[in-house]
Amino acid sequence: MKVFFRLVKIYLASVFNFKNFKAQIQKRKKKGGQTVTRNSKAKILGMAVLFLVVFAEFLFIFGFFIFGLYGTAQAVNNISILFEVTAVIISFMSLLFGFMLTVSTYYIGEIEEQFLSMPIKPRTLFASKFCANSINSLITSFAFFAVLMGIYGYMESPPLIFYLWALICSLAIPLPMISACYFVNILIMRFSKVFKNKNVVMAINGILGMALALGFNYIIQSAAGSDPEALYKIVESNAVIFQNYGLYYPPIKLVGHILSEPASITSFLYLVVLIALCGALPALVIGLMSKLYTESLIGFNEKSVKKLEAKQVSAFLHKNIKSSSPFMAYLKREFKMMNRTPVYLLNGPFSIIFMPTLIIVISIAKGTNLNNVPPHVLDFMQGNAGFVITGLAAGFLGSMTNIADTALSRDAKFIPFIKSLPIDIAAYMYAKLAHAMIFAVFAIVIGVGFAGFVFKFGLLHIVLSALVALCFSALVNLVSLFLDTAHPKLHWDNPVAAMKQNTNVVFIMFFNMIILAISAVVVFFTMNSYLWVILIYFCGIPAAVFAVLIKPYGIYAEKKIESIEL
């Protein structure tokens, strides 16, 4: 058991990344030739506030949904529907998030190979990872059930045993879903070589995450557009289905029986059956598939290298090795580094496609017809304020690719090598800015093109919108590069952390929002001004600030990178 708990601790550290989180909240200062680290109270407070805001937002949305569902369940005189629907939601989320988590942590690196070489039983190894990966779903399930307990407890004042039964249900419901995720993943990884590649796995994981976000938004926006009477009719018309689906997935129906009459003897018996069913699936998967799991780890992430024959070398060099300017070489390197790690592309630049798609999904869910915009909206958007708003929105999209604000962080592992080469550091960093701006231009084309199509812009309006967007995104990307150069994330275990666990991304997001808020105020007071006045505010000033900062940035970057020691 000691080995099991130590393995769980290792896997938990990998899943929740405690080491990198600790590094994120620390300050590093040089004192007497040595680097001294200490916890930053400001960073701890900021992280805590951010976590609480995001977590509270999800719970608020769920609580609002549960409160409406409670009233509907009371109206149809079937309170068990409230608990069954909650169990369905938790099961669905456990399946989706569980699949993403089990895929992304299926192989966590060379340490897995070290475990295989140790005298650790396959069952112990797999059980410890199963336990560690279940914690996330269990915490989520408990949080959502806590909202349910709070609302139902306030409205109905149930006996105390209700809360104990609800707690047990919240811990039992996710387990079959995690078991199903591992059952599928083990079979795929064991008998298919295509998926035994970390980049392929992370790409699939990112696509699934985006699909989940789009689907979740569609459901929330559709529900938000429905009146209580419509929701009542939907639940009432599907009450028969809720009565019958327990035959296909018994745990859902059992939760309804347990929590609707918690003080009865039958409730206790149903609880025993629920625990037995939800515990049996993990036991079967761990007991029967542990050996398959350990076998699937062998050779994970191996790469086949084709050896060139002597006569092929000349053709390869002629085709792939070509001289170019140092700046173009640096720029090509940026694209190759991003393409080699798909998680960078999916979590950053892909947002310029994802965010417009999200707007379209929300519009469809709300029943909005983008081809039939009200005349007064068209008149407003075709005025001076319209091209500024469009430009700011497109510029915001172009500055949210997370390229500039993670540029140096993503290169942290290569900084010692870069410093050893006779390269121009300023040009090297300017190439990173150019990389960000290429994607920004792509975002501007999408953003301005989309707005131009919806609001029927003329050519001049499109050009002015693009000009505002270009000036805005150029300035924000330069500020982002400044920030990541000043405070790069130098210590990370995998490429995901350099982007997804980088506080610079959060700061730039807030900076963008502040700039947009200030710009909105300026738009309000200048919308009736002359065109040249508006252009000075939204093109001239950002362009001037950019021109003033661009040269000092190169000098600062050279000094900063020279001072970095790893």
Which tens digit of pLDDT belongs to each residue from 1-30? 788 888 888 888 776 665 655 666 666 666
In this structure, which amino acid lies at residue 281?
L
* Stated pTM of the model: 0.66
Say what the pLDDT of residue 419 is.
87
Say what the pLDDT of residue 471 is.
94
Q: What's the whole-number mean pLDDT along residues 129-158?
A: 89
Say what the pLDDT of residue 494 is.
62
DSSP letters, 201-242, are HHHHHHHHHHHHHHHHHHHHHHHHTS-HHHHHHHHHHTHHHH
DSSP, collapsed to helix, strand or coil, labels residue 96 as helix
417 pLDDT higher than 80? yes
Q: What distance in Å separates the CA atoms of residue 509 and residue 117, rounded to the nearest whole number?
A: 45
Residues 447-506 pLDDT 10s: 899 888 888 888 999 999 999 999 999 999 999 999 999 888 887 766 666 776 777 888
Across 43-47, 303-307, 428-432, the highest mean pLDDT is recorded for: 428-432
Q: What's the whole-number mean pLDDT along residues 268-297?
A: 92
Scan for tokens 């915490």, then name that residue.
139
Across 9-13, 41-45, 251-255, the highest mean pLDDT is recorded for: 251-255
More confident residue, 312 or 270: 270
Under the banding of pLDDT at 50, 70 and 90, the label for residue 203 is low
Q: What's the whole-number mean pLDDT along residues 199-222?
A: 62
DSSP, collapsed to helix, strand or coil, labels residue 285 as helix
**Lowest mean per-residue pLDDT among 176-185, 291-300, 348-357, 536-545:** 348-357
91 pLDDT higher than 60? yes
Are 489 and 409 contacting, i.e. CB atoms less than 8 angstroms apart? yes
Under the banding of pLDDT at 50, 70 and 90, the label for residue 96 is confident
Under the banding of pLDDT at 50, 70 and 90, the label for residue 244 is low
More confident residue, 206 or 75: 75
- For 536, which DSSP code? I
Tokens at 426, concatenated = 């300023």
Say what the pLDDT of residue 553 is.
94
Closest by Cα among 153, 154, 141 to 59: 141
